[in-house]
Structure 1
Amino acid sequence: MSDTLVEQAAPGARSMSSPFVACFLAWLLPGLGHFYLGKKVRAAMFFAVVVLMFALGVASDGAASLIEQRQPLTILATFDNLAAGPIDLISRYLTFRSIVYVLPGEEGDPRRAELVERLRSRVRSVTYEYGNTFLLTAGLMNILLILDAFDIATGRKD
């Protein structure tokens, strides 16, 4: 590997770095936790990868997940979307034209009908499954980056 890609944290940076601040920053913006820990090149690469994955998901008509009481696995998908950080709000707004996380439970609820129709319009897209996969992958990748920032901040990893 090239010497230009080898990173060294600033001396004493680890002792002054809070793992919880690093994790929060990593969730807030992908790569920001690594930037806080002095891993600037790594931070830029992680930011680019997660944001590109997210952008591809949105561009491919991926839809943000909603929690539906009758389908417990939707909780995991919604949590995964949330793991991408505040950028998840973009996909929620583009999918549902509002920031919503739970599908109303009653069948006759007009808000439920509106949300279901907006979701169905996305599902009709031929690239919907690819878009969803990209959005979910961005969230899962950011979970790994949060854990990586925690490991670096606690000294388990360089």
Structure 2
Amino acid sequence: MASRSRTSPSPQSDANPKARSGEGSKSNEKSDSPPKAGQIKLSSEVLNGDSIIEVDDIEIDLRNRYLAAFLAWILPGAGHVYQGRHAKGTLFIVSVLSIWFLGFALGGWNVVYASWQPGDRRWHYFLQAGVGAAALPALVQGDRMRRSTDPTTGRTLDSYRPLWRGFMAPPHRPVLEGEADEVAAWYARRGSGYEMGTWFTMIAGLLNFLVIYDAFGGPLAVPISGKRKT
């Protein structure tokens, strides 16, 4: 005859709810604990585009972070001014644009232009355009040159006239390595300055990507006072 076994709740299972409640209270205590010095505290609105962060017991209203990032791209530092961070915004406007325009001048005002044609794929422009509005005229000039280029021969039409006296206009086509084209003439006139100017404008664009990130995410979690609570 088969014996029938009976199961009874073990004392261990009875203790589990208490243990779980204890763990839950501990986790709640951790979540309710005040932030450490230098820790960034985000509001519940942070994912909706608007956020208030707290660093070193100082509240910073980032306002609309997406708009701030866009403004920081259009004009370096403009996003910070929009957020009320005027000192930082002024610093970025002066430093980033100074580097960019210094490089532009070193290169004879010819190092920033948009072109993606065989023999003249100006990939440098993708980084130079990091400064936003200052580099946008190159797109207008590049499109004008594209429409004035013969697709069969790849040569610039005689009827082509650049805007703004050639400001940020691409060189006349074709551009061939080893040939005496317009790019070769720019190099001959400026020498190493053309190369340095290209790098300066690229570095300025890269720096502004960091400025855009700072406008979007706020300052780093480092105590402003330099002191940490123990």
Is TM-score (shorter-chain normalized) higher than 0.5? yes
CA contact (8 A) 1:63 1:119 kept: no
Question: Match for 1:100 among 124, 132, 142?
Answer: 142
Per-residue CA distance 1:84-141 (angstroms, 9 max, x = gap): 1010146x49xxxx62168767653225871544433322212111101111011101
**Alignment root-mean-square deviation, CA:** 3.3
Match for residue 172 of structure 2?
114
The yes-or-no answer on 1:27 pairing with 2:73 is: yes
By how many angstroms is 1:79 displaced?
A: 1.6
Query: Are the structure 2 counterparts of residues 137 and 108 from structure 1 closer, same or farther at C-alpha, using a change threshold of 3 Å?
Result: same
SS of aligned partner of 1:136? helix
- Count matched residues: 140
Most deviating of 101-110 and 33-42: 101-110
Percentage of identical aligned residues: 26
87 and 114 in structure 1: CA distance in 2 versus 1, 3 angstrom threshold: same
Q: Specify the code of the residue in structure 1 equivalent to 2:203.
A: T
Equivalent position of 2:116 in the other structure: 68
TM-score, normalised to structure 2's length? Answer: 0.50
Cα distance in 2 for partners of 1:145, 1:113 equals 31
Aligned partners of 1:65 and 1:81 also within 8 Å: no
Task: Note if 1:49 corresponds to 2:107.
Answer: no
1:113–1:30: structure 2 CA closer, same or farther, 3 Å change rule?
A: closer
Conserved? CA contact 1:54–1:138, under 8 Å: yes
In terms of fraction of residues, the more strand-rich structure is 2
SS at match of 2:116: coil
Change (3 A) 1:65 1:113: closer
89, 106, 128: which is aligned to 1:81? 128
Q: Which runs of 4+ in 1 moved over 2 A?
A: 10-14, 65-71, 101-109, 115-124, 155-158
In structure 1, the partner of 2:210 is 144
Pair 1:130 & 2:196 matched: yes
Map of 2:20 onto structure 1: none
> Could you say if the C-alpha distance between residues 31 and 70 of structure 1 is closer, same or farther in structure 2, counting changes exceeding 3 Å?
same
